[in-house]
Amino acid sequence: MTFTQSLLEALESLSGNKLRSGLTVLGIVIGVAAVIAMLAVGRGAEESITGSISSIGTNLLFVFSGDAGGPPGRNGGSGNNDRPLTLADAKAIADPFAAPSVQSVAPALQGNGTVTFAGENSSTTIQGVTPEYASVRNLEVAEGEFLNEEQLLGRMSVVVLGPETADNLFGRHEGVVGETIRIEGQPFRVIGVLVAKGGGAFGSEDNSVYIPFTTAQARLTRRGARDEVDIIFVQAASAENVLQASEEIANILRQRHRTPIGDDDFTIFTQQDFLSTFETITGVLTIFLGGIAGISLLVGGIGIMNIMLVSVTERTREIGLRKALGARKRDILLQFLTESSLLSLIGGVIGVIFGWLIGLIVGQIAAASDTNFTPVVGADAILLSTSFSALIGLFFGIYPASRAANLEPVEALRYE
């Protein structure tokens, strides 16, 4: 018996029991659809997170004090005698002779607070920054302007809003320049609104307000030292200079803080560190989700085995007759393996379509809620799921097929 003949007979047999075949295929459909959808969601989450981080720039470094609560890094350390980062540290890092790989430096003060306008209030991140912050963090102004040197030196009460904060206060993020809002009860004039960027490594930058560093020092923050900063953002000359810039910054801070190598009281984190961390987390999450969904594939495979065993029992006389007329053991084996594999393959194809539709629906829901998230159905996930479903059909069909092939013709013909 050729494979084509086996395939035709399998189609004829399955079409003769449409309802039973359909219910059996349903188990595989659900399993494959779940795998495709879960992998698409996991990959979409990974691309969303890494895309948000990469949009800031691959040549960005973050410098925390040892007790600033920043994530531990390769140059990080902690201790009870940690020195805070200061403006003097930032100026030292910006020295082109001490750190030639550094292009720009932006110290910042960060905190949470409440901003209000005409009875509307919003909890947001308040950041005291310098004019260099916009270029270092790759921020774009949608309307108005960013903070300048004059406003910094004059300790002016001006503010730049993230678009989400503007929406929360005004119900829009256009035409708000010139309005006066209150930050922690103090009036600030809006001079600009930023272009939306979505979530970043430290939360959503869209829900933030930016005021001059000196204004934040004098009016909104309470620090142990007047020149203390929470974080220093450093832009390397290029992505290739990031590691060199990291070493230069570390050497400068060790000299200034008088700490030996291995006992640093600061942490230097790069964009690549964040990307690696998030890729690891989302990779594990994707595998975990795919594994859970894969269990339903195994359940579907067990369903195929069950229905094929029932089929062998029902067709015992048919098998005996075929053997009596000269059918070989391998012909019977091929026939039943073809049926089980065909069931599984059909379920796999339909499951891929349903999985893709689920991913599409999730993407539409995310878009409707203004969430920067798009499920990604990769060709490798489709190929893996389809192949795995066919293999499951083959694997779980082996026992029923072997049982059918090993039936003795005389006994099979006597079966009632």
pLDDT category of residue 23 using cuts at 50, 70 and 90: confident
Average pLDDT over residues 147-165: 92
If we measure between CA atoms, which residue out of 274, 224, 205, 357 comes closest to residue 50? Answer: 274
Q: Which of 61-75, 103-117, 284-298, 330-344 has the lowest mean pLDDT?
A: 61-75
If we measure between CA atoms, which residue out of 35, 103, 395, 55 comes closest to residue 242? Answer: 103
Average pLDDT over residues 275-289: 75
pTM: 0.60
Tell me how far apart the alpha carbons of residues 143 and 327 are, in angstroms, rounded to a whole number: 81
Return the pLDDT at 51.
Answer: 67
Q: Which residues lie below 8 Å from residue 164, measured CB to CB, with a gap of 6+?
A: 173, 196, 204, 206, 207
Is the per-residue pLDDT at 293 higher than 90? no
Is the per-residue pLDDT at 12 higher than 50? yes
Q: Which of 207-211, 316-320, 332-336 has the lowest mean pLDDT?
A: 316-320
Return the pLDDT at 68.
Answer: 40
Percentage of residues in the chain having pLDDT higher than 70: 82
- 160: β partners: 192, 210
For the chain, give the mean pLDDT: 79
198 and 204 in contact (C-beta within 8 Å)? yes
If we measure between CA atoms, which residue out of 234, 226, 272, 274 comes closest to residue 250? Answer: 234
pLDDT category of residue 79 using cuts at 50, 70 and 90: very low
252-279: per-residue pLDDT in tens? 988 888 887 777 788 888 877 766 777 7
Return the pLDDT at 54.
Answer: 60
169-189: per-residue pLDDT in tens? 888 888 889 999 999 888 999
> Which carries the bigger pLDDT value, residue 383 or residue 233?
233
Is the per-residue pLDDT at 53 higher than 50? yes
Is the per-residue pLDDT at 72 higher than 60? no
* 74-80: Cβ within 8 A, 24+ apart: 74/268, 74/273, 75/246, 75/250, 75/264, 75/266, 75/267, 75/268, 76/264, 76/266, 76/267, 76/268, 76/269, 77/259, 77/262, 77/263, 77/264, 77/265, 77/266, 77/267, 78/265, 79/263, 79/265
If we measure between CA atoms, which residue out of 135, 160, 124 comes closest to residue 145? Answer: 160
Return the pLDDT at 6.
Answer: 64
Return the pLDDT at 190.
Answer: 93
211-228: per-residue pLDDT in tens? 999 998 888 766 545 688
Is the per-residue pLDDT at 364 higher than 50? yes
111 and 220 in contact (C-beta within 8 Å)? yes
Q: Which residues lie below 8 Å from residue 82, measured CB to CB, with a gap of 6+?
A: 65, 66, 67, 265, 266
pLDDT category of residue 5 using cuts at 50, 70 and 90: low
Q: Which residues lie below 8 Å from residue 106, measured CB to CB, with a gap of 6+?
A: 90, 129, 130, 132, 133, 136, 137, 232, 233, 234, 235
pLDDT category of residue 91 using cuts at 50, 70 and 90: very high
DSSP 205: G
Average pLDDT over residues 285-289: 76
Tell me how far apart the alpha carbons of residues 14 and 307 are, in angstroms, rounded to a whole number: 11
SS3 373: coil
Average pLDDT over residues 398-413: 68
Tell me how far apart the alpha carbons of residues 142 and 167 are, in angstroms, rounded to a whole number: 14
DSSP secondary structure of 140-169:
-EEEE----HHHHHTT--EEEE-HHHHHHH
> Which carries the bigger pLDDT value, residue 264 or residue 163?
163
Is the per-residue pLDDT at 198 higher than 70? no
If we measure between CA atoms, which residue out of 147, 126, 125 comes closest to residue 136? Answer: 147
Average pLDDT over residues 146-157: 92
